Amino acid sequence: MADLKNLFLITKHPSTTQIFLTSLFFLSLFLLSSSSLSDFSPSLIVSSFTSRLLTAANFFSSPSSYTSSASDTTMFLSSVSPRRINEPKIDSETKELASCDIFDGTWVFDDSEPVYLPGYCPFVEDKFNCFKNGRPDSGFLRHRWQPHGCSIPRFDGKKMLKMLRGKRVVFVGDSLNRNMWESLVCSLRSTLEDKNRVSKIIGKQSNLPNEGFYGFRFNDFECSIDFIKSPFLVQESEVVDVYGKRRETLRLDMIQRSMTKIYKNADIVIFNTGHWWTHQKTYEGKGYYQEGNRVYERLEVKEAYTKAIHTWADWVDSNINSTKTRVFFVGYSSSHFRKGAWNSGGQCDGETRPIQNETYTGVYPWMMKVVESVISEMKTPVFYMNITKMTWYRTDGHPSVYRQPANPRGTSPAAGMYQDCSHWCLPGVPDSWNQLLYATLLVSHGSLPDKSLGSLL
């Protein structure tokens, strides 16, 4: 309840606006009983309401009456930890975004062109390149995310590259984060007059199959956008059993080694982990999870995931300098398999538009409840990009049968293959995630000139 105490400290000499904000807080508490937030703990809900009011109170209080510490300078906009910005010059668009949950909204029809045209970005992997693989419809590209209560600016790659001049952005996580990474690289590249001014960075590959480093450098801006493959965030390992046979394990108490490359010179780090915890080996948890020299005979996946997220959080708190590096965590991206799982005939082909019923709600992932709880206790400010709801509705955005090229003879590519109903076509849904990332950076920068950005990143 420290945030609640701070709210009243800030309003020691309340203005009319501050009295209104305090009243709004109590009204928010009254409405909790009838809200749709039953999936969240009461303490997290109260913290969320209080954090947003703290943000608003800080906007309206004078700079002389409130001084922030380095640990307080976090992002807000539906973040678990509040971002307090005390810049005196903030335009109306930024102020509107600051008071809005940009992850609570709906998909609306938009006939404008995507940020980059299908088939024109060479950095899209074939498995995400639905256009190249023969997908005939394009209606899934004609929708944009519209938050309730505010408008988000269209993605402006030139402006974002200026904000990122001299910076390093690193995505760390699984193939859904890779989806978002490729989308951002393509979105930024599309704004360049000379597309050849993007260089591929060749990174050292790990001996382990689920690790690796990839990156692109925008030469004219001295900016790099990198990806470190780390589906669990913690270290995959091996042990030798009593029969001398090597067995794979997952070290819940050890951060993935390749992540140690990022903390000294990264300005923005975007983490995720989720989908790999639903696979059979991790879900069953038999002889797979390890702490120290102990390999658990069996461990429930929820307990294992919680241990892993705490390991990640402890590493971030011990190694990330929050005055230099901004930390994001991307939530769980929804899958849409019907009639089976990904490896047992699950399908999503034939979907051409989002779910239109706004009352539809998928099952909120238990993993994200764990993440939200752990983040709320961290000393490092973490901005939580809760993309779960916005992906609930997008049954139409997956590669499905267009995860690989169609048969040269023109037959359907669906016969005898797994459908991909977890990842997303590019261009497509991840472009909207990066639009929200762009909006978030705009808010954190306010209307400051480029030369001042370094102090905020």
Q: Is the pLDDT of residue 197 over 90?
A: yes
- Of these residues, 187, 420, 431, 445, which one is catalytic? 420
Is a pLDDT exceeding 60 seen at residue 38? no
Over the stretch 127-146, which tens digit does the pLDDT of each residue have?
Answer: 999 999 999 999 999 999 99
**Nearest C-alpha neighbor of 308 from the set 325, 330, 328, 291:** 291
Percent of the chain topping pLDDT 70: 72
Query: Which pLDDT band, with edges at 50, 70 and 90, does 26 fall under?
Result: low
Please classify residue 318 by burial: count the beta carbons closer than 10 Å to its beta carbon, then call 0-12 exposed, 13-18 middle and 19+ buried: exposed
Q: Lowest mean pLDDT: which of 310-314, 363-367, 380-384, 420-424?
A: 363-367
Q: How confident is the model at residue 82 (pLDDT cuts 50, 70, 90)?
A: very low
Check whether 431 has a pLDDT greater than 80: yes
Q: Which of 18-32, 79-93, 106-120, 235-249 has the highest mean pLDDT?
A: 106-120
Query: Among residues 79, 175, 224, 334, which one is catalytic?
Result: 175
- Whether the pLDDT of residue 439 is over 90: the answer is yes
**Highest averaged pLDDT of the listed ranges 40-49, 402-411, 426-435:** 426-435
175 classed as catalytic: yes
- 345: pLDDT confidence band, cut at 50, 70 and 90? confident
Confidence of residue 78 (pLDDT cuts 50, 70, 90): very low
Higher per-residue pLDDT: 48 or 293: 293
**420 flagged as catalytic:** yes
Is residue 387 pLDDT above 80, yes or no? yes
Domain boundaries, given as residue ranges, for the chain: 107-409+420-446
250-308: pLDDT as tens digits = 999 999 998 887 777 899 999 999 999 998 889 899 999 999 999 999 999 999 999 99
pLDDT reported for residue 22? 52
52 neighbors 45 (Cβ within 8 angstroms): no
- Rounded to an integer, the average pLDDT of 193-218 is 79
Q: Give the Cα separation of 350 and 401 in Å (integer).
A: 9
Annotated catalytic residue within 101, 423, 431, 444: 423
Average pLDDT estimate for 137-157: 94
| Structure-token pair, residue 448 | 């400051």
**What confidence category does residue 209 fall into, taking pLDDT thresholds of 50, 70 and 90?**
low
Rounded CA separation 400/350 (Å): 9
Q: How far apart are CA 421 and CA 10, in angstroms?
A: 48
Dihedral through CA 384, CA 389, CA 393, CA 394, nearest 10? 10
- CB neighbourhood size of 192 (10 A): 17
pTM: 0.78
Mean pLDDT of 226-249: 91
